[in-house]
Amino acid sequence: MRGIVQGVGFRPFVFNLAEQLSLTGWVKNTSGGVEIELNGAAAALDAFVAKLRAEAPPLARIDEVQVEATSPNGYAKFEIHASQPQPGAFLPVPADMAICPDCRRELFDPTDRRFRYPFINCTNCGPRFTIIRDLPYDRPNTTMSGFALCADCQAEYDNPRDRRFHAQPVACPRCGPHLWFEAGGQRLAEKEDALQMARAWLKDGKILAIKGLGGFHLACDASNPAAVEELRRRKKRSDKPFALMAFDLETIQRHCEVTESEADLLTSNQAPIVLLERRPTSTAAPGIAPGQHTLGLMLPYTPLHLLLLEPEPGFPDILVMTSANLSEEPIAYEDEDARARLAPLADGFLLHNRPIHMRVDDSVARASMDGRPYLLRRARGFAPGALTLPNAVRPTLATGAELKNTFCLAREQYAFLSHHIGDLENYETLRSFEEGIEHYQRLFRVRPERIACDLHPDYLASRYARQRAEEENLPLVEVQHHHAHLAACLADNDWTAPEPVIGLSFDGTGYGTDGTIWGGEVLVGGYQGYQRRFHLAYTPLPGGDQAVRRPARMALAHLRLAGVEWDPEIPAVGALCAEERTVLASQLQLRLNAPLTASMGRLFDAAAALIGVCERATYEGQPAIELEALADPQEMGSYPFQIEGEIINPAPVWQALLDEWHSGAAVPTLAARFHNSVVRLVIEVCEIVRRESGCRSAALSGGVWQNRFLLERAVPALRAAGFNVLLHRRTPPNDGCIALGQVMVAAHSIETN
């Protein structure tokens, strides 16, 4: 059998099933899967195979079962044999799973021997990927290897009828990891006292670094505005929202609206951060998510987090739980590194001695219209779950994009898309990228025979790819960013049909084949190739990144191109002083440090700045996010873009927006109409392509599709117009999907196939 069949209670399940049906023989893990030999009556054997799939344990995923006949070998009973590695074979590794209901019950049961033990787990839950050093997944290959099992734990571990049979991280207060509390370099408390000290400090408004499952969090009382502001100051993070954690669903419901599918997502085994509509009555400090009406909340996914958040009168019911790092650096996960890097950020440390082998951030998701999760960051709980590909590929490494980087290793019909690595802008993140690639290569036994990367000449990920391709003499496939978006969305939807698809690849930035910055792209094609059928008109990006941080500069560049006067009454014009405008004007005229862009993300930035929504962007996409938050959901009006040849010209939209602004239209109305205009554009271009080439499917990929207002209007409108809409399902629409797309494009490129 192949699939996710190790570390998920599969062998005890097989053992019990065999006993139940009076079959003899054995089961063993191999690094290629699970092997079972059975002797018994034909009817019992058939029943076994049927039940194998029907009754498999909750975390298991069976991809393949091969059945062969054998002669009776005279086994007296059914046994579980020791693991046998097979060189070269591979096996999907289970992701870390949130604490299960049984462990949770035992955690709060005073008669249980693991009562209030922060590291309780079983075959159905607990750490996996973050503690695995190598395969096969057995205790000596995990970071639990240093903890010798006590007699009681050993008995559970050896008993196939026990929930903890072969649960590799099994532990108890007597033999397992434990907590302690540190501040100012002093160890102040141990175990339960450490936990209570941490809680007292949090209640007091202090900021703590807490070692969790895949790394450290910075935590503080989310209802305490001073604590939240102090955390922002120390983290040097101005407006980007903080994630929150609450003890249970009922608490979350006090702070946010929670639909049924959102509740399912919150309480799932993956337990991601879920973006929820904030209730006006929520006590969350305004500084948690400035300019937004959503909050990102998750439930405690480890026993430690449950104990930390245990309700008590006077204790905060929601805590900030944000990745412990300085802005842009990767999450801290090693004790020494955390002590050094987090000392200026945290008042105290809640630590434990179970090492984290692989750092993994929390995943972020939203419930999509059809109730399925729509991932915005694919990490804990999802990675490194293997994605099945629509076709088998040769061993490939794809190095992904620059921002929100993930890499991807693929072999046969499996893609191991990495957890979220982060923005490859500094040494720390690059190191975690390189270490991640090595770890995945070893775990999944992938020896790349070709390498795929982004076309961008300067991306660190592309440089790494080029260097490796040269050193190892491997073919290199450079993939255009927006083509990778299209291919990723197709692969995510198991697309195998030969007909071309309309790729609505809308994002902030991506290197184009003409050396400009693309991002408002309507492509027609598939894995093999694409035609750039439409794109937004090129607009100068005055000052490059400067125009991203000051969206008013982008707005003024657009106005100049549209032939609109810079009237200081217009909010975006007024946002820049006369001197800034003079410099900007000559910059635009002389094309000094003003690369051309067709970016849809920057179009949203310009729209937001134009009507005075966001003057300074302190994180990627902020103007668009604030514009979306303001958009009036009742408003249906829209403006037309002008389409000439392959160029989409926004000039008429700017003109209409300004006319209405001058006649006193409210900002929420204008914000909604701008969104609706983009929806209208989408329908128009798709209909043209359908007339031209009969395309009936549209793939929505790129960071712009994280915009819920846009997505929830564009999708029904496309469907109503008769289009088959392909949305990301297992990968995020943002650049977290790029590596998967690169794998697919490389697999279909003629040169290397």
376-405 binders of Fe ion (CB under 5 A): none
User: Which of 212, 474, 151 lies closest to 359, judged by CA?
Assistant: 212
- Size of site (CB under 5 A) for Fe ion: 2
Nearest alpha-carbon partner for 268 in 98, 127, 57: 98
**Minimum CB–partner distance for residue 106 and Zn ion (Å):** 8
User: Least distance in Å: CB of 401 to Fe ion?
Assistant: 6
What is the dihedral sign for C-alpha 594, 596, 602, 605? positive
Provide, rounded to whole angstroms, the least separation between the CB of residue 485 and Fe ion.
Answer: 6
Q: Which of residues 489-528 bind Fe ion (CB under 5 A)?
A: 507
**CB contact at 8 A, 408 and 451:** no
Q: Which is nearer to Fe ion, 295 or 403 (CB)?
A: 403
Distance of alpha carbon 300 from alpha carbon 360, whole angstroms:
16
CB closer to Fe ion out of 317 and 507: 507
Q: Which residue from 172, 298, 554, 699 is in contact with Zn ion, where contact means CB under 5 A?
A: 172
Q: Which of 4, 93, 125, 548 binds Zn ion (CB under 5 A)?
A: 125
Among Zn ion, Fe ion, none, partner that 613 touches (CB below 5 to 8 angstroms by kind): none
Q: Edge-to-edge strands of the sheet including 476-479?
A: 408-417, 387-398, 450-454, 476-479
CB closer to Zn ion, 114 vs 378: 114
- Is residue 536 within 8 Å of 618, Cβ to Cβ? no
- Of 16-24, 153-161, 598-606, 645-653, which part binds Zn ion (CB under 5 A)? 153-161
The nearer residue to Fe ion, 322 or 509, going by C-beta atoms, is 509
Q: Nearer Cβ to Fe ion, position 156 or 507?
A: 507
Q: 433, 355, 362, 380: which is closest to 129 by C-alpha?
A: 380
Our finding on whether 103 is near Zn ion (CB under 5 A) is yes
**The binder of Zn ion chosen from 44, 45, 62, 175 (CB under 5 A):** 175
Please tell me whether residue 329 binds Fe ion under the rule CB under 5 A: no
> Which helix or strand (DSSP H or E) is residue 509 part of?
strand 501-511
**Assigned token pair, 56:** 């498999």
Q: How far is the CB of 481 from Fe ion (least distance, A)?
A: 6
Comparing C-alpha atoms, which of 321, 323, 319 is closest to residue 251?
Answer: 319
Instruction: CB nearer to Fe ion: give 239 or 620.
Output: 620
Q: What is the DSSP string of 274-301?
A: EEEEEPTT----GGGSTT-SEEEEE---
Q: Which stretch binds Zn ion (CB under 5 A): 56-64, 95-103, 343-351, 692-700?
A: 95-103
Query: Of the two residues 96 and 735, which places its CB atom closer to Fe ion in the complex?
Result: 735
Q: Are 570 and 593 in contact (CB under 8 A)?
A: no
The window from 97-105, 288-296, 375-383, 697-705 that contacts Zn ion (CB under 5 A) reads 97-105
Give dist(CA 169, CA 266) in Å, integer.
24
Which of 47, 150, 667, 683 contacts Zn ion by CB under 5 A? Answer: 150
Interatomic CA distance for residues 246 and 250, integer angstroms: 9
Q: Which stretch binds Zn ion (CB under 5 A): 142-150, 185-193, 541-549, 611-619?
A: 142-150
Give CA torsion, residues 243, 94, 439, 142, to 10 deg. 100
Looking at beta carbons only, is 620 or 735 nearer to Fe ion? 735
- Number of residues engaging Zn ion in binding (CB under 5 A): 10
| Least spacing, CB of residue 177 vs Zn ion, in Å | 11
Nearer to Fe ion (CB atom), residue 182 or residue 735: 735
CB 702, min distance to Fe ion, A: 5
The interface region with Fe ion, picked from 33-41, 43-51, 455-463, 735-743 by CB under 5 A, is 735-743
Q: Least CB distance from residue 97 to Zn ion, whole Å? A: 8
655 burial (CB, 10 Å; 0-12 / 13-18 / 19+) is: middle
Helices (DSSP H) in 183-334: which residue ranges? Answer: 191-203, 225-235, 249-255, 260-266, 303-308
144: Cβ contacts below 8 Å, ≥ 6 apart: 131, 168, 169, 171, 176, 354
Give whichever of 247 and 374 is closer to Fe ion, judged by the CB atom: 374
| 5, 56, 80, 100: which one binds Zn ion (CB under 5 A) | 100
What minimum distance in Å lies between the beta carbon of 659 and Fe ion? 33
Instruction: From 96-104, 298-306, 611-619, 647-655, give the range in contact with Zn ion by CB under 5 A.
Output: 96-104
Residue 586, number of CB atoms within 10 A of its CB? 10
When binding is defined by CB under 5 A, the residue of 317, 560, 735, 739 that contacts Fe ion is: 735
Q: What is the DSSP letter of 67?
A: -
For residue 551, which of 632, 613, 637, 466 has the smallest C-alpha distance?
613
423 sits near Fe ion (criterion: CB under 5 A): no
Secondary structure element (H or E) that encloses residue 581, with its range: helix 578-590
Vertex 627: Cα angle to 585 and 669 (nearest 5): 105
At 459, give phi and psi (nearest 5°): -60, 135
Q: Tell me the closest approach of the beta carbon of residue 410 to Zn ion, in angstroms.
A: 32
Residue 454 binds to Fe ion (criterion: CB under 5 A):
no
Q: Say how far apart CA 129 and CA 381 lie, in whole Å.
A: 9
Q: In angstroms, what is the minimal distance from the CB of 738 to Fe ion?
A: 6
- The length of the chain, given as a count of residues: 753
- Quick one: what does residue 735 bind among Zn ion, Fe ion, none, with the CB cut-off 5 to 8 Å set by partner type? Fe ion
Q: Least Å distance between CB 113 and Zn ion?
A: 8
Q: How far apart are CA 714 and CA 409, in angstroms?
A: 33
Q: Answer yes or no whether residue 157 interacts with Zn ion by CB under 5 A.
A: no
Shortest separation between residue 378's beta carbon and Zn ion, angstroms: 23
Least CB distance from residue 459 to Fe ion, whole Å?
12
Which residues contribute to the site for Fe ion (CB under 5 A)?
507, 735
Which residues contribute to the site for Zn ion (CB under 5 A)?
100, 103, 122, 124-125, 150, 153, 172, 174-175
